[in-house]
Amino acid sequence: MTTRLYTGKGDDGTTGLLFGGRVPKDAAQPRACGAVDEAQATIGAARPLCGPDRAELDDQLIHVCRDLWVLMAELATLPEHHTKLTDGQTRVTSEMVRRIEELTDAVGAKFEPPSAFVVPGQTQLAAQLDIARTVVRRAEREAVAAAVDGSHVLPYLNRLSSLLWAQARWVEGEHLLSRDVD
């Protein structure tokens, strides 16, 4: 027996949300979830570039991708259903934000920060991390309209873009090329 991978319920231009409700596909929640989904995919595209010598980075990226599932669950929930969310499973917590900050600090300690603008693309992996960083920044902008007051979604995305920048610089290592601004 073949399992259908589609329902057809969204053919009317709406999508279902976690814990109920349907909204137009261009509403704040699906727009934000879609942007975060794209960010997760671009982070995932960096993973095969890590290779065996970058297992630590690959582990970091896997952890972030799992966090983004939590973030998407929160964004895919109408405000009136937020009481049904579970910390760390369907709701982003301050602890998750703190872990990203600590990871960014640890990665930042692995390289000398550039003193000028960085020219992206010194390595394929660093370039992919920079692409992921820009997609996360867009996801953050989309999430502004969907995040509820008191949510940790925006701080998480903001810190995640910093982490991805630091990871890209760490990967570049001696290949880092900076340019002074005239």
Which domains are delineated in the chain? 25-174 (1.20.1200.10)
Neighbours of 118 (CB within 10 A): 18
Q: Is the pLDDT of residue 179 over 60?
A: no
Q: Average pLDDT, whole number, for the chain?
A: 93
Residue 99: predicted pLDDT: 98
Taking each helix axis from N to C end, the angle separating 153-172 and 94-108, rounded to the nearest 10 degrees, works out to 20
Which of residues 76 and 173 earns the better pLDDT score? 76
Residues 6+ apart with CB under 8 A from 62: 47
What's the pLDDT score for residue 35? 98
Radius of gyration of the chain (CA): 18
The pLDDT tens digits for 59-75 are 999 999 999 999 999 99
Q: What is the pTM of this model?
A: 0.91
pLDDT reported for residue 174? 59
